[in-house]
Amino acid sequence: MRLGVVMTGMGAHAAASIGVMKELERRGIVPGAVCALQWGAWPAALFAAGCGAQEMEKALHQAAGMGGRMLAPCLRERLCPPPRRMASGVRLNRLLNAQTGGRVLSLCPGAALFPCRLARSGQRVVFSTRAFHQEADAMLAMQASVSFAARAALAMPPFLAPLSMMGSPLLGETDAGFAVRALLRLGMHRVLVVAPVSSPRRAPDALDLAGASLRLACAPPAGEGVGVLRVIMPDAAGALSFARMDDCCQAGALAAVRELDALFEGMGMAFCRVLPFRRQTM
């Protein structure tokens, strides 16, 4: 049986997926593939590049050390007129490229999907490390770098400017149902959705509020063997609290320790052996 993982979360909250991956690795479970929604594209890119849980945690410490500088506009952008002051994410681009080694999607050791939409036409573009049959309204792209694919999925105006493809801005996909279907089409038998939730005791920051308008529809399709792991974020960690990503990671690990057994039983895989993804050979 192959397990797919949908990684979600706004800003720093996406680090919860790394905590879940740590617990899966402790149990000897290697996901067959991951699918990235919004800021879940960052841990998904690390998985695609072949990083294990320990390497992901090192990358997490590096990102936490940068803090809010990851999204801060550079000097040239700050001098632009107000309509053009949206951060291009230069520092984030460099971080993604360094942590993934500049790998091309088709040459990545890990199976990962990065769904996006063309802003002008609304057509879905799925950046993927593996070829598979798409839904009728989706287009497959495999020749970009994994850092480009992840950065495209991370775009969120007005915080982070989108990248462009075929003359149209790319926006990250927000439909968790599509992510689940894509993993099933790739050959996964069960799907785990990691869904970080802001602490109800914390006043939301700007990125929390922006994410609320794009709230993921995490209700799984009936009968598809999908489990949703909701991770309550620490009170001190908002979506913009990049310096507290370690706390978000720990929250993901603790939620996985408490709830994975029950989720796996409900998904019908309590006593199943989880197999990694293997490339088909001719």
Query: For the domain that residue 189 is a member of, what is the CATH number?
Result: 3.40.1090.10
DSSP code, position 31: -
pLDDT computed for residue 65 by the predictor: 86
| 274 within domain boundaries | no
Question: Are the C-beta atoms of residues 57 and 99 closer than 8 Å to each other?
Answer: no
Q: Hey, CA dihedral for 114, 118, 124, 128, is it positive or negative?
A: negative
| 282 within domain boundaries | no
| 275 within domain boundaries | no
| 150 within domain boundaries | yes
| 172 within domain boundaries | yes
pLDDT computed for residue 224 by the predictor: 67
- CA 151, CA 149: separation in Å to the nearest integer? 6
Q: Which residues of the chain have pLDDT under 70?
A: 72-87, 212-224, 270-282
What is the total count of domains within the chain?
1
What residue type is 204 in one-letter code? P
| 277 within domain boundaries | no
Across the strands, what pairs with 230? 195
Cα 32 to the center of its chain, rounded Å: 15
Tell me which residue of 227, 225, 233, 226 sits closest to 254, measured CA to CA: 233
| 273 within domain boundaries | no
pLDDT computed for residue 282 by the predictor: 38
pLDDT computed for residue 161 by the predictor: 85
pLDDT computed for residue 152 by the predictor: 94
| 276 within domain boundaries | no
C-alpha dist (Å) from residue 124 to 33, 36, 131, 155, 170:
19, 14, 16, 15, 9
pLDDT computed for residue 272 by the predictor: 66
Structure tokens at 219: 């209700």
Which structural domain range is residue 214 located in? 3-266
pLDDT computed for residue 28 by the predictor: 92
Whose tokens are 């067959």? That residue is 32
